[in-house]
Amino acid sequence: MNFKTKLSNGIKYLQKNKSFSIGLGIVLITIFIAIFADSLTPHVPSKLNPKFKLLPPFWVEGGNPKYILGTDAIGRDLLSRLIKGIQMSVGISLFSVLSSILIGTTIGVISGLVHPSWLDSVLMRITDIQMGFPFIVLAIIILTMVDPTPFSCIIVLTLSAWPTYARVIRSSVMIEKSSDYVDAAKAMGASRARIAIKYIGRNLLPTIIPVAPMDIASVVITESLLSFMQIGIQPPLISLGNIMSDGRNYISTHWWITAIPGFVIMIIVIGLNLVGDTLQTTFDPKLKQ
Amino acid sequence: MLSTIIRRLLQGFIVICAITIITFIMLRMIPGDPSRTMAPNATEDQLIMLRDQMGINEPILVQLTKYIRNIFQGEFGYSFFQRANVIKVIAGSLNASIVLFGFALVLSIFFGLLFGIIAALKANTWIDKLFSSIAVVFQSMPNYWVGTMLILFISVKLQLLPATGYEGFKFSILPGIALSLPTIAVLMRNVRASMISSLRQDFVKAAKARGIPGYIILSRYAFRNSLIPLLTLLGSQLGYMVGNMVVCEYVFSYPGIGLQTLYAILRRDYYLVQGLVVILSGFFIVVNMIIDIGYTYLDPRIRKAQGGL
Amino acid sequence: MEKKSIKVSEQNNGKDVLLKVKDLKTHFFLPSGQIVKAVDGVTFSLEKGKVLGIIGESGSGKSVTSRSIMRIVEAPGKIINGEILFKGENLLTLPESEMAKIRGRRISLIFQDPTTSFNPYMTIGQQLIEAYRVHEKESENKIKEIIAQVFKLVGISDYEDIVKRYPCEFSAGFRQRIFIAMSMIFTPDLLIADEPTTSLGITIQAEIIEALNDVKERTGTSVIIITHDFGVVSQFSDDIFVMYAGRCVESSPKKELLLNPMHPYTIGLIRSVPLLEARKTKRLKSIPGFPPDMMNLPIGCAFSNRCEFAQDICFEKVPDLVEIRPNRKIACHYPQINYQTNQDTQI
């Protein structure tokens, strides 16, 4: 089955699938917010307002409808900060996943196609080390080593995500390589490079698409975690994680500062997981019931 | 069989060595001088003496070889800040972590299996859909946020359980719950999937046709057959759980080895970080090795292929 | 143990009828709302000690028929109509607990693929002992004696070593032998073999059929053999029951059917068997078209779109199953009464 028929079958299947529609809706709204964040914020996110410190959301007693989700300890509008935070988190996550895909695919294709034994065993050991070494410890060490800018966050997150892609691409290249049509092409004298290019055209997307959404989801969580632990995005930049970290000291009296951004992350991640789940079952007929 | 064990031990040993060397080099690259953090008011001469005492004046490679040689003699060095043997410091906080991890693991396995089996038996009914939706939510909640919310509702609002510190088992309950939720979700989904596929196997149908009662089919046929993929999964989940444990200990200020690691890194307490990293990754590698050996033992097909135990 | 379940057998033309299936309907209710009529009004009976061959292509409902008799049809399948009289007792109205006592003791089912029909994690002995103990409490030594006997029945003499081993240590053919032995552990009245040779090699197929035949001869058990292969039923059955798209299209004693098949589908099946027809036509013919799409059956006769004799009425009306001669039933608007196969090809 080629990619086009797979895709059109997939689309038919997806149209019937309710959880996919919900997930896609969430993802699209999130992307919309991230793109138009600057025009969506009702207040300037960094503007202090000493008169309205620690306002609760408008539906709670004492709330002010001008500040829909309330304000933080120094009177900054939470909704505006939330919107900017979404922009930052989504941006960082997307860049990290894109660079992971880039690095992972390159190494995966080389390893699967040529497979020099040293690269194979290095990949295997990296997998082992990654599984055996709590990533968070590595992230803390690196982020204390360098300045915690958005760029270094992207590097750390890329470091955590690329081997997944290298592995899936590698194994699918190996499967593809042993298939008959590649043998036929070889018999006709096609070069390895030609086969590689043909392969990338045919099979890259079907291999990556099912993995990517869930991967973005886990990167979103990790990014917010780093910021929450104050080793990721640093103020005055705003991320969902550091809004929560600000609110942590007020958790017993002003819960909304921590609760709402976490809830937003959860919704975004649910959306991505629902999309990823469905894509995985659609692209992998073994899982389809 | 013996050769498999030896090979696995060797692989694990190489991985631990690699992790040790990587952390060693990276730690030395962190800007900041531990001697200065230790004695902020000391003069330059005093600092040099201090660094000599701490053994961090020599070139990195010399330090590394010395360190590795010491490890083989069972010496993991001293913690600069706690002024005690690294092993003693780790042993002091290990107990709290073992309680936390063990509790979370028990919760995860129990509820993961329970909900997974129920969902598989009620596949495609509303119960199954409810459980699966809950699993998606559990999987999607940031761990540290769940912890914070548990503190808010259970400790602050309801005042049922303590939020921070460790003075006994009840201090482990909330962090344990926070730590187990994502693993419950992952286990549940996989138990469900593998039980459904086991229940479709011919030998399950054949057992039914022999009049074998449902509970035996469930335990001795379907579940037994799902066990091996689940064991492998559990092995990789333990790695995530160790990482999440560090986070949970941070959120709950729970004085285990995770929190110890965080402070050690931030204080540039080199040898303590080193020792903790070896413990954390060693734990994971050993557990996975046990699982590997476990399933060769569990599956007669693999066992026979390897020529007996 | 048997005293309870034995009742006065139903007398039918002076013969001892063991199993009588009347107008059985098993339908599958798919989540999409579609209904697959896998078995749609099947009627047949089986005498004691006889062998009935049910033949049809995959999807014709033959396996669902066997699972309906055992009442182990999987969801979303449901038996919605009919009677299954086993020794005069309707299995479909028995409580589940009573039915469980019949499965594996009075009726046994042999599966298609012996490489998947054993539990891979239990030794052969454990599975045989379990199969026995589900129904009867007995000491392990006594059960082992019985195991030795049933192994002898299928031609295995050294049981001691075999029971200690796992299924994965034996070849597919040998596993099928063991499975037959396990099915005979209570000497059931009825043995249903659902494509017992399909997954095996040609020479092993013959051995398994021989083993089944031995078992039948020595114990007097009645057998239903389900297959898509006329070669199998022509060697080993007394009556043949041809199914197509969930219904019976032709039923007859074996000899008559092989000499003079009347339903165009039966003719097509026989023509496609090398042993039976090759010498006459020099060329094997396969039935044109594809097995029926059970979600989308033709309005009239289900076989109409593949039938070379079809007329207008075949596309409009489903033919009834008519007894055109004693013991010969056929469901066709244009039965080929005069069609003859080559007589000297009989086995």
Tens digit of pLDDT for each residue in C174-190?
999 999 999 998 889 99
Give the distance from residue C119's alpha carbon to the nearest chain B alpha carbon, in angstroms.
Answer: 6
Pick the CATH number of C11-106+186-330 from 3.40.50.300, 3.90.800.10, 3.30.70.980, 3.40.190.80: 3.40.50.300
Tell me if B18 and A273 make a contact (CB, 8 A cut-off).
Answer: no
Read out DSSP for C225-255? Answer: EEES-HHHHHHS-SEEEEEETTEEEEEEEHH
Query: Between B270-298 and A135-145, two packed helices, what is the crossing angle to 10 degrees?
Result: 160
Q: Give residue for tokens 């299928």.
A: C154
Q: Which of these ranges, A48-52, B112-116, B151-155, has the smallest mean pLDDT?
A: A48-52
What was the pLDDT predicted at B308?
A: 43
Residue in chain B closest to A248 (alpha carbons) equals B148
- Between A152 and C59, the more confident residue is A152
Tell me if C103 and B298 make a contact (CB, 8 A cut-off).
Answer: no
Q: Which residues of chain A have a CB within 8 Å of the CB of B15?
A: 125, 128-129, 132
Is residue A244 within 8 angstroms of chain B, CB to CB?
Answer: yes
Condensed to tens digits (0 to 9), the pLDDT of residues A69-97 reads 878 777 788 898 999 999 999 999 999 99
Measured CA to CA, the distance from residue B33 to residue B86 in angstroms comes to 19
Other Cβ atoms less than 10 A from the Cβ of A236: the count is 8
Average pLDDT of chain B to the nearest whole number: 85
Read out DSSP for A74-90? Answer: T--BHHHHHHHHHHHHH
At C78, list the tokens. 């449901």
Query: Between C202-219 and C172-183, two packed helices, what is the crossing angle to 10 degrees?
Result: 20
Tell me if C103 and B210 make a contact (CB, 8 A cut-off).
Answer: yes
Tell me if C109 and B209 make a contact (CB, 8 A cut-off).
Answer: yes
Tell me if B211 and C182 make a contact (CB, 8 A cut-off).
Answer: no
First to last CA, chain A: 19
Tell me if C130 and B225 make a contact (CB, 8 A cut-off).
Answer: no
CB contacts under 8 A, B 40-99 vs A, are: none
**Nearest one of B29, B84, B57 to B275, comparing CA atoms:** B84
Measured CA to CA, the distance from residue B214 to residue B184 in angstroms comes to 25
Measured between CB atoms, which of A136, A287, A289 is closest to B243?
A: A136
Measured CA to CA, the distance from residue C187 to residue C191 in angstroms comes to 9
What was the pLDDT predicted at C89?
A: 87
Average pLDDT of chain A to the nearest whole number: 81
CA dihedral angle for residue C333, residue C337, residue C341, residue C347, rounded to 10 degrees: 90
Tell me if B280 and A229 make a contact (CB, 8 A cut-off).
Answer: no
What was the pLDDT predicted at A42?
A: 79
Read out DSSP for C163-201? Answer: TTS-GGGS-HHHHHHHHHHHHTTT--SEEEEESTTTTS-
**SS3 label, residue A265:** helix
Tell me if B140 and A224 make a contact (CB, 8 A cut-off).
Answer: no
In this model, does residue B249 exceed pLDDT 90? yes
Condensed to tens digits (0 to 9), the pLDDT of residues A15-38 reads 667 888 889 999 999 999 999 888
Condensed to tens digits (0 to 9), the pLDDT of residues C21-75 reads 989 999 998 877 788 888 888 888 898 889 999 998 887 888 899 999 999 888 7
Please provide residue C51's backbone torsions phi and psi, each rounded to the nearest 5 degrees.
-120, 125
At C270, list the tokens. 């026989």
Is residue C327 within 8 angstroms of chain B, CB to CB?
Answer: no
What was the pLDDT predicted at B116?
A: 93
At A166, list the tokens. 């290298």
What was the pLDDT predicted at B131?
A: 92
Sheet holding C190-194, edge to edge: C107-110, C190-194, C222-227, C51-55, C239-244, C247-253, C328-330, C322-325
At A43, list the tokens. 């207040």
Measured CA to CA, the distance from residue C286 to residue C293 in angstroms comes to 18
Q: Which chains touch A (3 or more CB pairs under 8 A)?
A: B
Work out the pLDDT band at B306, boundaries 50, 70, 90.
low
CB contacts under 8 A, B 225-244 vs A, are: 236, 239, 242-243
Residues B291/B285, Cβ–Cβ less than 8 Å? no
CA angle, residues C100, C101, C104, in degrees to nearest 5: 85
**Nearest one of B211, B293, B241 to B97, comparing CA atoms:** B241
What was the pLDDT predicted at A188?
A: 72
Q: Which of these ranges, A113-117, B43-47, B94-98, B228-232, has the smallest mean pLDDT?
A: A113-117
Cβ-based neighbours of B179, under 8 Å, separated by 6 or more: B100, B101, B104, B143, B241, B244, B245, B248
Residues C330/C262, Cβ–Cβ less than 8 Å? yes
Residues of chain C short of pLDDT 50, as ranges, are 1-12, 14, 277-278, 344-347
Measured CA to CA, the distance from residue A22 to residue A273 in angstroms comes to 11
Is residue B295 within 8 angstroms of chain C, CB to CB?
Answer: no
What was the pLDDT predicted at C317?
A: 82
Residue in chain C closest to B206 (alpha carbons) equals C117
Condensed to tens digits (0 to 9), the pLDDT of residues B210-231 reads 988 888 898 888 888 888 888 8
Answer whether the bond into residue C76 is a cis peptide, omega within 30°.
yes
Residues B42/A157, Cβ–Cβ less than 8 Å? no
Is residue B126 within 8 angstroms of chain C, CB to CB?
Answer: no
In this model, does residue B110 exceed pLDDT 50? yes
CATH number given to B93-255:
1.10.3720.10
- Which of B197, B201, B203 has the highest number of chain C CBs within 10 A, making it the mutation to test binding with C? B203
In this model, does residue B178 exceed pLDDT 90? yes
CB contacts under 8 A, C 142-181 vs B, are: 166, 168-169, 179
Residues B232/C129, Cβ–Cβ less than 8 Å? no
Residue in chain B closest to A216 (alpha carbons) equals B140
What was the pLDDT predicted at C26?
A: 92
* Residue ranges of chain B that CATH labels 1.10.3720.10: 93-255
Domains for chain A: give ranges and CATH numbers: 19-262+273-287 (1.10.3720.10)
Work out the pLDDT band at A4, boundaries 50, 70, 90.
low
In this model, does residue B271 exceed pLDDT 60? yes
Residues C21/C43, Cβ–Cβ less than 8 Å? yes
Residues B107/B113, Cβ–Cβ less than 8 Å? no
Give the distance from residue B224's alpha carbon to the nearest chain C alpha carbon, in angstroms.
Answer: 8
Please provide residue C133's backbone torsions phi and psi, each rounded to the nearest 5 degrees.
-70, -20
- Between B209 and A286, the more confident residue is B209
At B42, list the tokens. 């000391």
In this model, does residue B85 exceed pLDDT 50? yes
pTM of the model: 0.81
- Between C104 and A115, the more confident residue is C104
Is residue B26 within 8 angstroms of chain A, CB to CB?
Answer: yes
Measured CA to CA, the distance from residue C318 to residue C333 in angstroms comes to 9
**SS3 label, residue B268:** coil
Give the distance from residue C30's alpha carbon to the nearest chain B alpha carbon, in angstroms.
Answer: 12
**Nearest one of C203, C188, C232, C274 to C53, comparing CA atoms:** C232
